[in-house]
Structure formats: structure tokens, C-alpha cells
Copies of this chain bind each other. A is one copy, B any other.
Amino acid sequence: MLAFPIPRRWNRLMQPEEHEVLKLERAALARWGAGDPSGYLEIYAEDISYFDPFHKERIDGLAAMTELYESLRGQVHVDSWEIVGPRVQELGDLAILTFVDVGQCAGKIWRWNATEVYRRGPSGWKIVHANWSYQA
């Protein structure tokens, strides 16, 4: 217990390793790489907005994300992955988590730029926006 609690600061930059959202992300990514999209679906907010390189439009809402991810269930397999250079910008009840996801699959290496915006609510941290993008 802290004798002098640390005040919550506007735009506090926390050590990412300490941050709850990074733990959530690791857990969801581990399940994703084993073909289980539920790790993400469980932490996506109802009002999520989502970008990836494979769709011409943004995907909006948990129902649409569920439809997309269920169509991929059991089809994703990642040999190994690593979250590189995570940063958390915490702003009130929002936390912007950014990192490079270096994944390996069938001898190929993929580098993704990942943005995950989390909102803290009654049921914990949920992702309200995601942008997954290739590096050129």
C-alpha cells in the first residue's frame, strides 16, 4: 500500500509493462495466434471501429466484428509473435496502446503497426478503436 498515493495525471505516460491494457493485449494476441478470435471479441466494445489492410471500408460495431472474426475461427496460425516497443498514452479513462507486432508464420516475417484504443468502463478496459496495418 502506498502511503502517498500517486495522483492520476492528465496524459500520464506509464511504463507499458505495468499497464493492464498491455496484459489484455498479450492475452488476446496469444489466443488469436492459436486460431481463437474470442480473446479479442471479449474485449471489443459495442461501438468499436476497426481498420485492417484487407477491407475497403472501416468496420463499425461489435456485431460486424463478430461476423468477421467468426469467419476466421480456427484459420489463423502464428508460429511466434512479439510485441515490440509498446507505449501507453493514458488520457483519463482512455489508453492508447501502440506497438509493432512482429509475427512469424511459415518462415515469413510480418511487421504490423498496431493501434489499440482502450476505454475504461464498468466492465473494465474495452477496445473502442483498432488499426492494424502492414509496414511497406
Interface residues, chain A, CB within 8 Å of chain B?
11, 13, 47, 49, 51-58, 60, 85, 87, 89, 91-94, 96, 98-100, 111, 113, 115, 117, 119, 128-129, 131, 133-136
Contacts and interface: CB of A to CB of B under 8 A. Distances in A.
Where chain A touches its partner, the secondary structure class is strand
A117 B94 CA distance: 11
A133 B91 contact: no
A13 B115 contact: no
Given A11-B47, A87-B58, A117-B117, A135 B92 contact: no
A71 B82 CA distance: 31
A85 B89 CA distance: 26
